[in-house]
Amino acid sequence: MLRIRDLAVTFRTDDGPVEAVRGIDLDVRRGEVLALVGESGSGKSVTAMAVLSLLPATATRTGSIELDGRELTTLTEAQLNGVRGKEISMVFQEPMTALNPSMRIGDQIAEALLNHGVGTKQEAARRAVELLARVGIPEPERRAAGYAHEMSGGQRQRVVIAIALACEPKLIIADEPTTALDVTVQAEILDLIRELAHSSGTSFLLVTHNMGVVADIADRVAVMYRGEMVEHGTALQVLREPTADYTKRLLDAVPRLPEGGETVPPAGEPDGTGPGGVALPVPVLSLRESSVTYRKAGKSFTALDGVSVEIAAGEILGLVGESGSGKSTLGKVALGLAPTSGGELRLFGEKLGRGGLRGRAERRLRGRVGAIFQDPGSSLDPRTTVGEAIAEPLVVHRAVRPMSGRDRAARVRELLEAVELPASYASRFPHELSGGQRQRIGLARAIALEPELIIADEPTSALDVSVQAAVLKVLRELQERMDFACLFISHDLAVVHEFSHRVAVMHEGRIVELGATDDVLLRPQHPYSQRLLASVPVPDPVAQRERRIARLAARSAA
Amino acid sequence: MVEAARTAVRTASGGAGILRFLGRRLVQGVIVILIVTLIVFALLHLAMPQGPAQGILGMQATQEQIDAFNRANGFDRPLWQQYFTFLSQIAVGDLGDSFKLNRPVADAIGQRLPKTLVLALISMAVALVVAIPMGIYQAVRRGKTGDYVFTTMNFIIYSTPSFFLGLVLVIVFAQWLGLVPALAPQGDTVAQVLAKPAGLVLPVATAALGIIATISRYMRSATIDNLSEDYVRTARAKGTPMPVVIRRHVVRNSLTPVIAMLGYYLPVMFGGMIVVESLFNYPGMGLLFWTSAQTGDYPVLLGCVLVIAVATVVGSILADLVQALLNPRTRGELA
Amino acid sequence: MTTATAAQPATQPAARSPFRRGLRRFLQNKLALFGVVTIVLFLLFCFLGPLLHPTDQVHTDLKSTMLPPGTPGHPLGTDDVGYDVLGRLMIGGQVSILIGLAAGILATVIGTLWGAIAGYVGGTVDAVMMRVVDAGIAIPATFLLLILSAIMRPSVPLMIVVIGLVSWLVPARLVRAESISLKSREYVLAIRAMGGTHGRAVVKHIVPNTVGTIVVNATFQVADAILLVAYVSFLGMGLQKPATDWGAMLTGGMTYTYAGAWWLIFPAGLCIVLTVCAFNSIGDGLRDFFDVKGRDR
């Protein structure tokens, strides 16, 4: 139905032309879900945008794109507007910003209909309400009269899908439709897309980097790498028996949870813990009944609600949860970056804050804790070199550990080697590095003082899977060598499973389940943990199908 | 980061935020005006360490007469007491007496202020009518010839003193072409001024050009920001033609920051009025201020400053209110 | 891309420092180059010009008033009291540029300190400091300037101080906003998490990253200050003769508009416009220069 031949897209930039897509062929058949997979820079999103000519003005496109035999690349802007939304429509990645904030939801859906002369204003308004009901929005009449800010991310994505669906197009192109959503919401959106594909016969071209999503929903898969098509075939073929080297590497890099209760012991047992993960005395970090309340515009919001947790020396505690669960706040409390409104925080047995250590003594204690942050873009000062950034903790704590400038430079080289970067990188600036390299620098900075505890807040969630795998490998090796304890915060359950001795699940500011990794992640007890786990798609179509059926059965039973 | 942003969205979207917000803005406004009165009071004493006696009684007044005046009017009391007297006077609208005009300051300002407001409002209206479409046009044609022409024009106007700009207009349109008079209409009332609209053309044009240069720059960048928003892509993907996307989606969302900026632009505009009014001899508050500065009529000068400061504070609160009304997130809570 | 650079020998590592990158972008901005060249030319004209074209700018010469341009010895003619216009442009320019630069820098220094303290300390201190800024903004600068010039006899140092004192509000707001946003960057958080002091965070990371905003704004401040000097002169509260500035020259010439004495108006007017344009375009160029998170990310 959609037939792409020899599509190439080149962007004009200050540093010369950049070829984003280098001559690819792609077919989408009627009624199928085709997944276009790749990491960042693979050209998958550019391909999707090229179909409806929604590329920025700096892009040049060559090749042919046909819809049912009609060439789309030669159409005028007016003709294209007849195709957009009518025959092919799109769903985008970021539901929080995809809707006009100052226009009623119903009007935004009706606009799609009225653009293509479908019915009168009244009819379009009525149809908009029907569409909202169709995509599973409760109280559609009320919602149609409302605005985007009143809805959650998942609901907004449903509205965007309703807009795409309005004129019953032949094809819907969905560009990372679930990437910005939590896993439980992702599962619901994928259910909706699957149901729509089956009931309406609409084809989907689904752009994604998530192999689990592919396994869950795709009939066929096309894999892109650096602007080229490296492999395509059915989901079963590509995910189970990949032929291209790149696909194999990509699939290997995807962290996954073991199937059906099978257990793999995590790397080594922590020193400070006895059998069964019971913490021995003097934990490196201990929180007792800690709460954090934010005040904003006169309203208070409880981010952390009486949380108690301990981390033993050498232990890795994984902290999982969805957005707003309070997991990042907990990390900030441990780092002294968020003031608590109640409870007690101890580092290495010493009480901090009210009635405990403060000022210089507290700062000295903080030298024994390292921190790794999520955003590789803002974790390093753009104006200092890599060497300066890594040496900073050494300078801050020079009173405790005096060190000559030469020793410090040597230590920086040593640390760079520890994170597997050439020592020459010390003179570079952050903007010259890739995201993965920056996270390694962050890691080197965190271990500079040989800390006994590292707080890592989503250290790899902004990275591609292959880069993530490399960074995690470095982190794991360092942990084995230096034996620091770690609070590892992540929304990715499989990563946490690979990495942690114990796991805590957070939900609405509380820890709902805490225990040994396999117990929590393979045999969850709390209903929320169970729901969370069931929502994570695994990158194997057969296994994922079973999981989905089990999840849907559990949901209808509940 | 995403997490924090969502938390912020959640807390901001619920509750009686907007009324509380406006209440807080009102309290802030009162504080700002109090600080302005302090500055004004300090300036008064800098200007007249002896108090206003000399100014009111005239240069020939003897030291005894001045002392007697000060005793009778409380100008011999400690400064903080005088400040509170000053505060209680302005609270009831008493801005003191002019040295030169033989009338209360409030009267003089009351007669001139409406004419300045008329000139300011007409200029602002003309400027908005020109600047908003211009800014949108520039944003849409960004980097093309049309954008460059207007950007360069605005850049030059922005860098030109308004009296020089006005002078050029006078030379071209009054002196060479003889189309309009070079001086503003005279008169005590707004009606008298408005009776000769031809005389208003050049003052309005001079004031408006400066405002256009500022607002169109602002509108341009607000529109450029909005054009790169995701909702524009969504609208295009459903087949809405680009001109309609701009009209229906982008313009409204781009106007909001411009309105907020107008509130803060008021003092700049009043500051510009003094130049325009003295250039064209327009009988407004700016001219009153100018002549009072020449004659050292301090009560009038400081009365004007107070009036403008109050107008600015009220204006910025109004701008916030309009912005709240335009934003559906806050509108519901106001109703 | 990274692998390509990694393979190169480390012969020119500095070539990609933020400074060099910024410089490249600044030089690419033709308008900014025009600005720099214009300012240099004006500085030469105003400060070295009197050596090449010496004129008497103290004593009036009532025998040769209102001479048109082209008169021997007076390339740009003379004014109503016989001053040579070209020579007067030079000394007027000295005053305009000097006051503009000094007042712009003064305003930037005051505004930066005020804004940085308010932004980093936050809370009640911030609220009080910003209300003072609001109050200052509520009084139009020209009004305040007129009052102060009415109270005190205008002189160059006084005008620098007065213009500086009415212009620091905008930089104060900008720097405050900037330091609030920097305060929550992860690299600043990292300092505090590793036990660094607030002082270190401010000195090592917040100030260096605010420099761009400050310098760019300072350039615009200079442009605005030059305009303000002209306004004050136009409103009759400028320097006393025989001292002058471009604004005063322009204002003096306006009396003779109908007499056709264009040389008393346009040279001075164009000098103001060109200088202000030049400073504004340097500001635009510097904005590119300091923007580290550039287009190649």
Please name the chains neighbouring C, where neighbouring means 3+ C-beta pairs under 8 angstroms: A, B
- Per mean pLDDT, which range of A424-438, A468-482, C46-60, C64-78 is the poorest? C64-78
Per-residue model confidence as pLDDT tens digits over A210-261? 999 999 999 999 999 999 999 999 999 999 999 999 999 999 888 888 765 4
Give the chain B residue whose CA is nearest to the CA of C262: B171
In chain B, which residues have their Cβ closer than 8 Å to the Cβ of C247?
161
Q: Would you say residue C287 has pLDDT above 50?
A: yes
Q: Fill in the DSSP letter of residue A341.
A: S
CA angle in degrees (0–180, nearest 5) for A293-A296-A299: 75
Closest CA to B134 of B38, B31, B300, B254: B254
How many interchain CB pairs under 8 A, A with C? 101
Q: Give the separation between CA A516 and CA A93, rounded to whole angstroms.
A: 35
Beta carbons of A437 and C2 less than 8 Å apart: yes
Q: Using an 8 Å CB-CB cutoff, list residues of chain C that contact chain A.
A: 2, 5-6, 10, 13, 16-18, 185-187, 189-197, 200, 204-205, 208-209, 292-297
Tell me the percentage of chain A whose pLDDT exceeds 90: 52
Q: Which of residues 232-251 of B touch C (CB under 8 A)?
A: none
Whether A55 and chain B come into contact, CB under 8 Å, resolves to no
Split at pLDDT 50, 70, 90, the class of C55 is: confident
Which among B164, B269, B270, B289 is the top mutation candidate for probing chain C, defined by the most C β-carbons within 10 Å of its own β-carbon?
B164
Q: Which amino acid is at B144?
A: K
Give the chain C residue whose CA is nearest to the CA of A336: C193
pLDDT at C256: 82
pLDDT at B3: 31
Whether A191 and chain C come into contact, CB under 8 Å, resolves to no
> C132 to chain A nearest CA, in Å?
23
Per-residue model confidence as pLDDT tens digits over B48-89? 777 777 777 777 778 888 888 777 777 777 888 888 888 888
Per-residue model confidence as pLDDT tens digits over B121-174? 999 999 999 999 999 999 999 888 999 999 999 999 989 999 999 999 988 998
Q: Give the separation between CA B91 and CA B330, rounded to whole angstroms.
A: 33
Beta carbons of B1 and A112 less than 8 Å apart: no
Per-residue model confidence as pLDDT tens digits over A34-57? 999 998 889 999 999 999 999 988
Residue A97: CB atoms within 10 Å = 17
In chain B, which residues have their Cβ closer than 8 Å to the Cβ of C29?
none
Complex prediction ipTM? 0.83
- Nearest residue, CB atoms, B267 vs list C137, C237, C258: C137
Mean of all residue pLDDT scores within chain C:
82
3-state secondary structure chain C: CHHHHHHCCCCCHHHHCHHHHHHHHHHHCHHHHHHHHHHHHHHHHHHHHHHHCCCCCCCCCCCCCCCCCCECCECCCECCCCCEHHHHHHHHHHHHHHHHHHHHHHHHHHHHHHHHHHHHHCHHHHHHHHHHHHHHHHCCHHHHHHHHHHHCCCCHHHHHHHHHHHHCHHHHHHHHHHHHHHHCCHHHHHHHHCCCCHHHHHHHHHHHHHHHHHHHHHHHHHHHHHHHHHHHHHCCCCCCCCCCCHHHHHHHHHCCHHHCCHHHCHHHHHHHHHHHHHHHHHHHHHHHHHCCCCCCC
Per-residue model confidence as pLDDT tens digits over A68-78? 999 999 999 99
Per-residue model confidence as pLDDT tens digits over A314-356? 999 999 998 888 898 999 999 988 888 888 888 888 888 777 7
> B4 to chain C nearest CA, in Å?
12
C24: left (phi over 0), alpha (psi -120 to 50) or beta: alpha
Segment holding B87, helix H or strand E: helix B79-91
Whether A13 and chain C come into contact, CB under 8 Å, resolves to yes
Whether residue C242 is preceded by a cis peptide bond, meaning omega within 30 degrees of 0, is yes
> C292 to chain A nearest CA, in Å?
7
Per-residue model confidence as pLDDT tens digits over A490-544? 988 989 998 899 999 999 999 999 999 999 998 899 999 999 999 989 888 998 9
In chain A, which residues have their Cβ closer than 8 Å to the Cβ of C181?
none
Split at pLDDT 50, 70, 90, the class of C296 is: very low
| Residue for token pair 């919001």 | A301
Q: Would you say residue B8 has pLDDT above 60?
A: no
| Residue for token pair 């020592």 | A423
Could you tell me if B73 and B20 are in contact, meaning their C-beta atoms sit under 8 angstroms apart?
Answer: no
Q: Crossing angle, helix A541-557 and helix A527-535, to 10 degrees? A: 140
In chain A, which residues have their Cβ closer than 8 Å to the Cβ of C210?
none
In chain B, which residues have their Cβ closer than 8 Å to the Cβ of C144?
305
